[in-house]
Amino acid sequence: MPFYVLKLGGSLMACARDLMRALCALAEDGYCFLVVPGGGPMADLVRDLFSRYEISQEAAHWMAILAMEQYGYFLADGTGALLTREMRLPRCGVEILLPYQLLREDDFGLMHSWDYTSDSVAALAALRLNAPLIKATNVDGVILEGKVAEETSASSLLGKESCIDQGTLRFLLGRLKGRRIWVLNGSDPHHFISALKRGKGGTIIKGE
């Protein structure tokens, strides 16, 4: 049974529930997904409040984690996916992680700063479950020299703006050394599922 931790970014909000339905349909073929939601516009609101008012990094961190939960409820609504507060192999098909209570009890050493976003939460879930990690986003992969790179290293992206957060890149150079993240466009659910089955497309970011 193929099992993936799937980070589903807020950039896909317009088509995210269609992608969730496609994942649930794929579960009938034996696939299994633990979906880690991004923060979407709810996290953007937290960023805006952080920049405009005197909010500590600590408070902003937990507000952003709660934004992930709000997006999680959005993803589950009407799609057939279930919500879970446990970081575990789903009991059926597709489950969406609500991370707030879990991380309040044990945040696995996650730093509370904007460098460590929902990408980092997904990376820690993949590490804990020893599962491959896919980041579904609204771009075709990591753009290097004007084109999508089939493969790149975490070290080459460190300190640069890209579709993956800096905290996750640091994990790939440390706790996730030797692992990889597959960045894949989820804007078209059919193409996403096709790429997933073929194991081709997007960008592989390798730890070192």
Average pLDDT rounded to a whole number, residues 23-28:
92
Q: How far is CA 42 from the centre of its chain?
A: 16
If one counts the domains in the chain, the total is 1
Q: Check: CB of residue 169 under 8 Å from CB of residue 157.
A: yes
Alpha-carbon distance of 157 to 175, in angstroms, equals: 17
Domain span at 65: 3-206
Q: What are phi and psi of 53, to 5 degrees?
A: -125, 170
For residue 99, what is the domain's CATH number? 3.40.1160.10
Rounded to two decimals, the pTM is 0.94
For the chain, what percent of residues have pLDDT higher than 70?
Answer: 100
Q: Check: CB of residue 166 under 8 Å from CB of residue 158.
A: yes
Helix and strand totals (H; E) in the chain: 8, 10
What is the per-residue pLDDT across 83-95, written as a single tens digit (0 to 9) for each?
999 998 887 799 9
